[in-house]
Structure 1
Amino acid sequence: MKLKKILKIIGVSIFGLIFILLMVSLIPRVSNSSPAYQTELAYGNPVSEEIEKLLTPEVAPERTRAVIILEDEKIIYEYGPTDKIMNTASIRKSLIGLLYGIAVDKGLIDIYKTLAELEIDEYTPLTDLEKTATIQDLLMAKSGVYLPSQGEHDNQITQRPKRGNHKPGSYFHMNNFDANALGTIFMQETGMSIGVFMEKYLAEPLGLQDFSEDNVVVGDPWFWPKKKSMHKQYYMYLSTRDLARIGAMVANNGRWRGTQIVSQNWIKKSTTSYSNLKENHIDYGRYDGFGYQWWLASDTGTIWTDGYGERFMIIDPSEKLTLVEQNYTGNSLFTTGLWLLNKNMDSNLSGLIKAHTMLKQKK
């Protein structure tokens, strides 16, 4: 009798623990907010039926997909839940580049300071040569620091040069050490969290509709074990319509509704190519240049962000066009786990590129 009672207690306890873990795994890490400073996006002349047919799937895609196109500051195409908060993945790198521009203009950051001057190190100590890398080198993905970092994947790992192979500032290698260290340095130099700074100086002036400082998470959102590093990966969750608004501001040389959000000088510097990727040993496909955390395609004159999980933003300053596609990759431990189990990224990038070409031809 005692044994049955003990087994029953154990069974109930295990069930209760599983139930609690399941509930915790379903809790969203970031929730849609409705900030007081938000402003509605206006609508312009819609795209042609041909472009609409190209971008609108006849059958609902396997993943939740959101697509939006802005011409100047107005929506001309929209599909899916463009107000849904999504993890932007590596698009965060371009966004931190914009925040650096604002901080530089405010005199808070000097991008020519070295890692040594900033007292930046790593658990595997940096060499004296590596410490000569400047913030600018990190922005250009040319730090010359080739150490494992949080959130790295694919050719960031397989194509990583050996330590000491290249001096800081001399060789492009897209990596997460540079991006993550930029987050550490940003918080150190401004004395503010990335989320607080981003809300005050970017989201509020732009009138973002779905943002709050909590949309930026420093460290793993679900406390999952990460590679040991002094420089934590940071996650930026944005809706597709908010991301497009930021892109439209870049397309307009840092201005939004007549207000200069990011200086024209910084937009120009950060979207200038400092690397000829065709000379690099890694094939970066559609891109042939890289600025301050922005991908560049000289054949189309476009500026790109590119995030894991098939999410893209194409900015065409000459035509004032911004095209964005995001795929939902989860906002809780459970939904993110489901996404990771499904390897089909399910994007329509080719359609987005064709739509851009057709919109240019229309003009």
Structure 2
Amino acid sequence: MRIINTAIAILFTAFSVAAGCNASAGTPEGQAPEAVWPTKSWPVSTAEEQGMDSASLARLIETVGTYRQDSLMIIRHGKIVAEAYYAPYVAGISHDLRSATKSVVSTLTAIEVQNGLLDSVDHPVVDLFADKNILNIDDNKKAMTVQSLLDMTSGIEWTEKAYTPDESIMRMYLTSDRTGFVLDQPMSGAPGAKFNYNGGNPYVLSALITKKTGQSAFDFAKKELFGPLGITSAKWGRVDAQGVTDGEAGLYLAPHDMARIGYLYLRNGMWDGKQIIPSSWVERARAGNVPATFGFHYSNLWWSLPEKGAYMALGRHSQFILVLPKLDIVAIMTGVLRDDEHYPAPRLVDDIAASVKSDTPLPSDPIAQSLLSAAIQKAATEKPSAVGVTPDLAKEISGKTFKLSDNVLRVKSFTLNFFDSDSSWEIMADSGKDQTTQRFSGLMGLDGTSRKSPPAFYGINAAKGRWLNEHTFEIERRVLGHGETQLWALTFEGDKVNVSYENTDGFKAQLHGEIGD
């Protein structure tokens, strides 16, 4: 999250690196469904074989496709019944979970408890970090427990709304000891008294994992969570100066592996005969003991809608791991939605629940199944966006290098190449290390659809461009799986260029340059 400084980090990561309780059909409470363990791969089934209606799922896939979603996957009784990937995103690419990362940190904390590494979630946090010289200690801070961190009721004074530079979350990322920064903050009230969303809480929990295990949260996860569940797509950035993995964001998982996290919770913390996390941990996440915001409840770093029998891991730009226990369903959704775009979680729950018709198989419905197949195929085909008329200016600037003055994005120059096919962009950027310059490039479509570049060490670029008028060319660019899209509007005036940059995190910048020698 870290808009200004992490806008740079995101840029260069890209460059360089009716609902559950109202439905009549479902798995009865306490009745274990047939054991299916997708450690190696997910079984696939028709919707009808799992008591769902393919036509309803087809409509859902089409509706979701009107938003800037990347994927939608629905699993019932341990089998995939619908799986759509919205172009240009494709299956198998690890996706930025954003704050859904927090729910995985919760799961790792649960493993600490299950394995006896943490004696109790009621343990006072100050005592667990007795080696730190924590500031602003008072009775409230002494009473703060691991559970209050997990419930976002720590009582720490914290601001995290628009991600402006003065907010707590932004200042945390600028410090040399982020865990210490969080623990040093004054208290605004008694722990447990009030919900206040605070990315510092899971950061401290990640630090606690490192303290208890001698490993980063990522290394601990690979051994104790990802390995047993068969998760192979995980990426989780770099550790900080203290060896701590970012606990509030930064984890990447492919949708199939996101679903494995949800399925672990659907199966009450059990995986193929082994209790990975306590069932009581799952129940607390599901119950949502803490009233939160926008009608949600919260607990153990999971959001919930108890009246709909639903709980979920949520991340910015529409990342979902949704669990519907009464319907025996896990649903996954990823996307690049702006903050002012929403596919509401209650609506998603209702739409999925409406497609459930029975606990037993339905008769085969070839027509409905063909509608579902068509919807999935339509999702995989990018719908062209509008393109403008190509001016003569395109030939004049094609292949020329424009050098940029110093800027917050550290971009030193760019070149556009306009060809009949395989048009491309190229950027030279300051890597931020030893004043070295790195070259990045990719293809761009000029027909309203994205062109994917060959895989690079940081991922797969997908970009398209269009002329807004005779002097302004706009590029829409993303790295597939990253939770943000970039828009570059380049206005050419003689030998000079002005560049307006904006991404879906809300970061904006103005760059200026001219044709180089």
Task: State the TM-score, normalizing by the size of structure 1.
Answer: 0.71
Secondary structure in 2 matching 1:92: helix
**Is 2:305 the counterpart of 1:290?**
no
Question: Structure 2: which amino acid aligns with 1:273?
Answer: G
**In 2: Cα distance, 1:58 partner to 1:147 partner:** 37
**In 2: Cα distance, 1:100 partner to 1:41 partner:** 26
Q: Tell me the equivalent position of 2:40.
A: 39
- CA shift in 2, pair 1:242/1:286, >3 Å: farther
Counterparts of 1:60-75 in structure 2, within 5 Å, are 63=68, 65-75=70-80
**In 2: Cα distance, 1:233 partner to 1:351 partner:** 26
Question: Structure 1: which amino acid aligns with 2:259?
Answer: A
- CA shift in 2, pair 1:286/1:311, >3 Å: farther
- CA shift in 2, pair 1:304/1:345, >3 Å: same
**Is 2:135 the counterpart of 1:115?**
no
Q: Tell me the equivalent position of 2:236.
A: 216
Q: Tell me the equivalent position of 1:34.
A: none
Q: Tell me the equivalent position of 1:245.
A: 260
Residue segments in structure 1 that go unaligned for 5+ positions in a row = 1-20, 30-36, 224-228, 278-283, 330-341
Q: Tell me the equivalent position of 1:5.
A: none
Please state how far the C-alpha of 1:297 moved relative to its aligned partner.
1.0
Secondary structure in 1 matching 2:287: coil
Higher strand fraction: Structure 1 or Structure 2?
2
**Is 2:340 the counterpart of 1:317?**
no
Q: Tell me the equivalent position of 2:81.
A: 76
**Is 2:358 the counterpart of 1:357?**
no
- CA shift in 2, pair 1:190/1:112, >3 Å: farther
Alpha-carbon RMSD across the aligned residues, in angstroms, is 3.7
- CA shift in 2, pair 1:62/1:147, >3 Å: closer
**Is 2:288 the counterpart of 1:273?**
yes
Q: Tell me the equivalent position of 2:108.
A: 99
Please state how far the C-alpha of 1:358 moved relative to its aligned partner.
1.0
Identity of aligned residues (%): 21
Secondary structure in 1 matching 2:307: coil
Please state how far the C-alpha of 1:87 moved relative to its aligned partner.
1.0
Secondary structure in 2 matching 1:51: helix
Secondary structure in 2 matching 1:43: coil
CA displacement, residues 301-353 of structure 1 (integer Å, 9 cap, x when unaligned): 11122111112222111221111110158xxxxxxxxxxxx667575857633
Q: How many residues align?
A: 302
C-alpha contact (below 8 Å) 1:274/1:291 kept by paired residues = yes
C-alpha contact (below 8 Å) 1:141/1:174 kept by paired residues = yes
- Of 149, 157, 160, the match for 1:146: 157
- Shifted more, 129-138 versus 348-357: the winner is 348-357
- CA shift in 2, pair 1:136/1:59, >3 Å: closer
- CA shift in 2, pair 1:86/1:264, >3 Å: same
Please state how far the C-alpha of 1:360 moved relative to its aligned partner.
4.2
Secondary structure in 1 matching 2:192: coil
C-alpha contact (below 8 Å) 2:263/2:330 kept by paired residues = yes
**In 1: Cα distance, 2:264 partner to 2:98 partner:** 20
Counterparts of 1:2-13 in structure 2, within 5 Å, are none
C-alpha contact (below 8 Å) 2:312/2:320 kept by paired residues = yes
- CA shift in 2, pair 1:73/1:260, >3 Å: farther
- Of 215, 232, 235, the match for 2:250: 235
- CA shift in 2, pair 1:122/1:39, >3 Å: same
Q: Tell me the equivalent position of 1:54.
A: 59
**In 2: Cα distance, 1:200 partner to 1:246 partner:** 15
Question: Structure 1: which amino acid aligns with 2:225?
Answer: L
Please state how far the C-alpha of 1:273 moved relative to its aligned partner.
2.7
Residue segments in structure 2 that go unaligned for 5+ positions in a row = 1-8, 18-37, 170-184, 360-517
Higher helix fraction: Structure 1 or Structure 2?
1
Secondary structure in 2 matching 1:217: coil
Q: Tell me the equivalent position of 1:302.
A: 310
Question: Structure 2: which amino acid aligns with 1:216?
Answer: W
Which structure would you say has the larger Rg? 2
C-alpha contact (below 8 Å) 1:69/1:322 kept by paired residues = yes
C-alpha contact (below 8 Å) 2:233/2:252 kept by paired residues = no
**Is 2:109 the counterpart of 1:85?**
no
C-alpha contact (below 8 Å) 2:281/2:300 kept by paired residues = no
- Of 269, 276, 291, the match for 1:261: 276
Please state how far the C-alpha of 1:130 moved relative to its aligned partner.
1.8
Higher relative contact order (CA 8 A, sep 6+): 1
**Is 2:234 the counterpart of 1:202?**
no
